[in-house]
Amino acid sequence: MGTSLQAMRSRLLAFGVLGVLALAAYGGPVRAQPGPAPYLDPHLSVQDRVADLLGRMSLADKLGQMTQPERRYITHDEVTRYRIGSVLSSGGSAPVPNTPENWADMYDGFQRAALAAPLRVPLMYGVDAVHGHNNMVGATIFPHNIGLGATRDPALVRRIGAATAAEMAGTGVDWNFAPCVCVARDDRWGRTYESFGEVPELPTMMTTVIDGLQGSTLSGPTSVLATAKHYVGDGGTVGGDDRGDVRLPEKELRALHLAPFQAAVKRGVGSVMVSYSSWNGLKMHQNKYLITDVLKGELGFGGFVVSDYNGIDEIDGKPGFTRDEVAAAVNAGIDMVMVPAEWRRFLEYLRDEVQKGDVPMARIDDANRRILTKKFEMGLFERPMADRSHLAAVGSAAHRELARQAVAESQVLLKNEDVLPLAGDDKVFVAGRSADDIGMQSGGWTITWQGEPGPITPGTTILDGIRKAADRGATITYSKDGGGIDPSYDAAIAVVGETPYAEYHGDRTDGLRLDEADLRTIDRLRASGVPVIVVLVSGRPLDVAAHLPKWDALVAAWLPGTEGQGVADVLYGDAEPRGKLPVTWMRSGDQEPINRGDGKKPLFPFGYGLTYG
């Protein structure tokens, strides 16, 4: 006891524990130790390090590791005092100004606070980087999953995962609440675009994104922890109701919704997030059979299970959470609980339930063992701070080129009456709300939770891409509402579709009709007598059957992200349309839900897609 800080530094250096030296550089109280603890020795096995650390932890230490507040509702001092194991940024929660450097500063501030606690356990920082590091201005925004499902290209998706991880790494953020491996069975669901497709084979195929995110080893310099979500069946709720009920026999639940999670587990996914939804009336957040028996037991998942945002609040269907809900969730097998604002109350309730014996200490130890194992595997004890050498990857030319390729591969040509591809010297009129709008073409989960129209982050709009793809000197005219067109143009392009939304805000039971303003824009173009190409920017199929005979071409562009030139590459024939529908396209809104093999006659079947050949 009474060992000097300098002596402690020397001992830690002898073990190569460079990350813990952040204590000296960044301040914070340090409890004197007679010598380096075995858990700080990187030469020991992860299993031995976890066992040693677990044996030193108090109940308060263990409960802190299981608690995940939102950054806006906790201070650095509270992270230290309550031994918090993880912090998150919810959609749109970002430092001001929203720059990569400020993200790194924010992360390091929280990490310094975690390292200042007596046991110096680093924290993990989680974000929904669901199509790139999408909360951060300047990041490369890739197509949403529905577009990637149209590519049928697992290798491309793996590269996108690696690029996303590299952009996250420079900011320090080390945990991604992605990928969503749900199977979207009803296009009215507001999260349809987060799904790779309507059949389990597609999300299963695209679990390669986990390999890209986590790398060959979790301790790699640009590796981040991946999360398979939302376990299980969230894409199969009745009526497409987000957070609704999946009413299926177990055999069908397994056949349709479990396979992608099984594939994710085989790829070593580090965490699994539980769905808000229910299965036959029982909330997933309390479903011990599916979480503990099936996921952890039968599938052999060795990582940790995290709740969704305030997910335990909804177990009893009433606002807020009770002691019973806390006990039910943890006993069901949830290891870390996302409690953004009420985390102090959660700690109080969980402590009480443990002390009463309603939550066994063995369950607490199991949760901590799973969480700590990932922290050791990630190398956080050795390298806890942001590695700013990777900041140059954010929005890099190489990543934007990769995104452009992904956009081009995701385009699905649904109709073409000999108007596409366009010639470079064609005189083209461009219209539509989504033609010159980064926010519209990126959709939800972009800078903010719901996304929003406008120049919200750097990128290339679809109109920008058209102007670049056309020959120098070619006439490209733009009018948002289509006003001013005349018969002198060779073609008109209407870029129309959905206004950004995320999860339950995007649930639609109105038949998925195209917006009236968009229809008026298309009608203005048609009235000129010029061939009309409709580019549909949307997170799902829309009800266009009644209008389609009047259009000369239709391209499903999905939600392409920041690199709109990939759309123009296909329109001008610089890239061949290769995309195939990842979902069945309805003939009318009242066909929903419609899926492959259900006997309903679609407008376009699953797997449909034309080429120029």
In a domain, 12, yes or no: no
Based on the fold, state whether residues 279 and 419 are members of the same structural domain.
no
In a domain, 65, yes or no: no
Which residues participate in catalysis according to the annotation? Answer: 308, 503
pLDDT in tens, 53-71: 999 999 999 999 999 999 9
pLDDT in tens, 423-434: 999 999 999 999
* CA–CA gap between residue 309 and residue 286 (Å, rounded): 15
pLDDT in tens, 335-389: 999 999 999 999 999 999 999 999 999 999 999 999 999 999 999 999 999 999 9
What's residue 29's pLDDT?
Answer: 36
Based on the fold, state whether residues 346 and 409 are members of the same structural domain.
no
How many separate domains does the chain show? 2
In a domain, 17, yes or no: no
Can you tell me whether residue 415 is helix, strand or coil?
strand
pLDDT in tens, 525-539: 999 999 999 999 999
The answer on pLDDT for 31 being more than 60 is no
We report the CATH number of the domain holding residue 89 as: 3.20.20.300
Where does a domain end: 388, 405, 421?
388
The answer on pLDDT for 456 being more than 50 is yes
Region 163-187: mean pLDDT is 98
What's residue 9's pLDDT?
Answer: 39
Peptide bond into 340 cis (omega under 30): no
Q: pTM of the prediction?
A: 0.94
The answer on pLDDT for 3 being more than 60 is no
We report the CATH number of the domain holding residue 535 as: 3.40.50.1700
Burial of 122 (C-beta count, 10 Å sphere; 0-12/13-18/19+): buried
**Structure token pair of residue 184:** 């979207």
What's residue 27's pLDDT?
Answer: 35
pLDDT-above-70 percentage for the chain: 94
Region 63-89: mean pLDDT is 98
The answer on pLDDT for 236 being more than 60 is yes
Based on the fold, state whether residues 443 and 548 are members of the same structural domain.
yes
* CA–CA gap between residue 56 and residue 38 (Å, rounded): 11
Region 267-272: mean pLDDT is 98
* CA–CA gap between residue 121 and residue 286 (Å, rounded): 29
Where does a domain end: 388, 406, 432?
388
What's residue 34's pLDDT?
Answer: 53
Where does a domain end: 345, 360, 388?
388
What's residue 510's pLDDT?
Answer: 82
Binned at pLDDT 50, 70 and 90, residue 26 comes out as: very low
Domain that holds residue 142: 71-388
**Structure token pair of residue 279:** 């299965």
What's residue 90's pLDDT?
Answer: 97
pLDDT in tens, 34-45: 568 999 999 999
Based on the fold, state whether residues 137 and 244 are members of the same structural domain.
yes
* CA–CA gap between residue 59 and residue 365 (Å, rounded): 10
What's residue 24's pLDDT?
Answer: 35
The answer on pLDDT for 11 being more than 70 is no
pLDDT in tens, 585-610: 999 999 999 999 999 999 999 999 99
Binned at pLDDT 50, 70 and 90, residue 455 comes out as: very high
